[in-house]
Structure 1
């Protein structure tokens, strides 16, 4: 029996990636990327993909969005787009439709990616198993636990990026006050995101009595020539370690923590030297316990598409 044809979409704050799969296997040659600013909403993107790709209508369609999903409706946090099952079916021609949060899709991909899709950040203890945790750092920030149960994989939706930033020093208190001026609340995403890195650099400039500022990509490019850029990246990485460690204690992912997202990948070369592991494990009398959690970086930029395909395949297997 031929695996069913699925249509998949990973909707980020800037771009949307669309592809086809046969069952849980994404077809690499079908992956296309569309700039969100060129479209009024997601439905026209999906219709454009069908025009570009051609071929029969898919049996199932699954999209994941960078924002909350409630009552079958996905809303993007950083873009005025929404999608529901009815519009998804109309745009794709699929009879089975699903809408996931982007971190839910990443969670469904874990363990179903190629061997070279992950890089070790902190070693996982030998024989470790149990729940896992996916943490996304990109245009925004989010996290989602991953539980394998007798009834299939369960990845609940979360909005962890909108929790309060942790404060461990007077300097971090000043950072929190600086980033909270926009809307009166210092959220994790205000620092741990692409725009967050820009905020950290602006804060360091403000501390030095300067008004210098740069885009996130420019800050990363200046890391070897600009001490302030290096300091911004170090502050970012240590905050990322602290928040990831907090989330590990909340969810107890003994099966491993997985970092995903473009900003997390950009930070990878500097995590070791700039104290990610130390900040992750700095939990007072629980610091030793933190050694139970391994941390990996997902380097597959299309992992969410694999997660969407895996979700549809699992639902089909469960429902017959």
Structure 2
């Protein structure tokens, strides 16, 4: 039996999971899991030490940690936390023979292969080709993008910074949104991540609110105002993106509904842009925390309409399978699978 340690390391929360595998049964068996508030610790090492002590197990042979931030040569500095992680130092201090650090969105790519049937919702069946590339896009705190290429019997995951490409407005309303963001933030360009992300949902709401698109209801207004007043703080007391999305799904606030309509349109268009660049007939997977929460709004047809609305390329995009990942722990699953391959 081989004991593996997987981790999903974020600026707010760290989740650790012990899994077990064997030659007789290569499938991963979950043994133990805990979640920790990252800011309560000065480094990852004491979290792992506390976790293993509580789990009361032998030291794992291998470990893989998915990091919310760029990973270069198995080192990483977390985006929203003053941690600097080095796989060699971690291996030495924890006594684990082999440790790998990977970007959190890379972990999502690996995690696709550990998902159960119920973890995936098919948005467009398309015509899947087993040897073709796979694309992954996911709106959450930011906008992650990546792709997978088959190499022998395995896929290799390649992250990208596609979320930082330029936002491309396609109609008068979107042009007005871009102008609003340029002026509001005094910037020279607008990345697609400023629109297609959790922060993007808030930005779209502010844009529609400020142009008096619809009446602003007090409950959502108060949440957004509180968030605006807490600008600059690392930890916020409210999550306006989640509140706006929930109100839109429940159809309880017209301004929130309009916000999500514009968001879903832009999300579908950017997914289509990624699909055109990669032709992922192996499937385009929509990850991130937002999509499962607004699934009815994505199912209504506007996402796929904007996904495939690419002129002469429409027929190509209609043949690409599109899936939504419903399991929020896909990154943790991916880290475990990556550890198994070390």
TM-score, reference length from structure 1: 0.89
Q: CA deviation digits over 1:145-202, x for unaligned, max 9?
A: 0111127421112122222112112221222233344362312221222222111111
Q: CA deviation digits over 1:191-214, x for unaligned, max 9?
A: 222222111111111111888463
1:137 aligns with 2:162: no
Alignment correspondent of 1:309: 336
1:16 corresponds, among 9, 14, 17, to 14
Ranges in structure 1 where 5+ consecutive residues have no aligned partner: 316-320
For 1:81 and 1:124, how far apart are their aligned partners in 2? 43
- 1:106-117 matches, cutoff 5 A: 106-117=108-119
Contact 2:284 2:322 in 1 (8 A): yes
Decide whether aligned partners of structure 1 residues 281 and 47 sit closer, same or farther in structure 2, where only a CA change above 3 A counts: same
The DSSP-based 3-state class of the residue aligned with 2:185 is: coil
Alignment correspondent of 2:322: 295
Distance apart, 1:48 and its partner CA: 2.9
Contact 1:237 1:267 in 2 (8 A): no
Alignment correspondent of 1:192: 196
Distance apart, 1:5 and its partner CA: 0.9
Alignment correspondent of 1:104: 106
For 1:25 and 1:47, how far apart are their aligned partners in 2? 26
Alignment correspondent of 1:237: 264
Q: CA deviation digits over 1:60-83, x for unaligned, max 9?
A: 110011221112222333444332
Q: CA deviation digits over 1:99-132, x for unaligned, max 9?
A: 1111211111223322211111122326665111
Decide whether aligned partners of structure 1 residues 256 and 21 sit closer, same or farther in structure 2, where only a CA change above 3 A counts: same
Alignment correspondent of 2:180: 178
Distance apart, 1:296 and its partner CA: 0.7
1:275 corresponds, among 297, 302, 311, to 302
1:285 corresponds, among 293, 304, 312, to 312
For 1:8 and 1:91, how far apart are their aligned partners in 2? 17
Q: CA deviation digits over 1:283-313, x for unaligned, max 9?
A: 1111111112111111122222221222222
The DSSP-based 3-state class of the residue aligned with 1:244 is: helix
Alignment correspondent of 2:291: 264
For 1:70 and 1:182, how far apart are their aligned partners in 2? 30
Alignment correspondent of 1:202: 206
Contact 1:25 1:309 in 2 (8 A): no
Distance apart, 1:22 and its partner CA: 1.4
For 1:101 and 1:58, how far apart are their aligned partners in 2? 21
Alignment correspondent of 1:318: none
Q: CA deviation digits over 1:240-276, x for unaligned, max 9?
A: 1011100111111111011112112112121122600
For 2:93 and 2:200, how far apart are their aligned partners in 1? 34
Ranges in structure 2 where 5+ consecutive residues have no aligned partner: 225-239
Aligned residues: 313
Contact 1:20 1:26 in 2 (8 A): no
Decide whether aligned partners of structure 1 residues 300 and 52 sit closer, same or farther in structure 2, where only a CA change above 3 A counts: same
Alignment correspondent of 1:246: 273
* Greater mean deviation of Cα atoms: 127-136 or 277-286: 127-136
Radius of gyration: which is bigger?
A: 2
TM-score, reference length from structure 2: 0.84
